[in-house]
Structure 1
């Protein structure tokens, strides 16, 4: 994998970084080196590393997590559909349950977005549903908490069509 730090030109670094971000590789970087990722607001990315734990879920895994979450949601009166959840997961994390965003305004305030649906800790804790994991990286717990939040704020995760 090419290292951004190997690129000498500032403009070229930005182009490489943009291509990597657009290609979905940013998730791998953000979760690979949290200490380095914390410096992103001040510096360009230094390294892009991928590993099995940072890659998006297989289609079967993602389908299973969404199906399990929908069962919990149904039992708790939380609206949402398979299509709405999947659309938001693919936009937010490309299906990577270990995704961490260390560069946006939430991260700048020390509250990085995490997991499949990129939930910050205070939101996860507020909208967590009893009986699911208390770990925001747990795919089912993340989907259910994010969907619960979206239901309270927008009526349903199905009504969310951009970052929320």
Structure 2
């Protein structure tokens, strides 16, 4: 399981890099066009915006997975290890639940966008594609959180080296 997660992390890192590169290049070209050539190209800005949205969703997943999201730890650091692990477990379950709900509720939105055939103003791409980033992003968050939860459980409570004494240190 950890091997699959590591492969997916590498794919995710490459995707984040490419999205960031696309976003920066599109914004740079747009700035040059507006200030020097005096021509604004709308689809450049739109592509940069869609790249940024997907980048934010992937970055959110990376932060949740690695535990690098901003959090207030003043209270949790004062608790013993067992209670901290329980709180971490509950938090992961809540994130999984929220992500599943957003994922499931985004599906009707995608179906509606496909049915209406609406196009984006600049790229003239089907609008279900930008909305699909929400669906894909929260699916990735859900799967990553489930795999992280399984790995955490395996490395703590189901580990051969795990003892109750570790909890009370």
TM norm structure 2: 0.22
Task: Select the structure that is richer in helix.
Answer: 2
TM norm structure 1: 0.22
Q: Relative contact order: is structure 1 or structure 2 higher (C-alpha 8 Å, sep ≥ 6)?
A: 2
Larger radius of gyration: 2
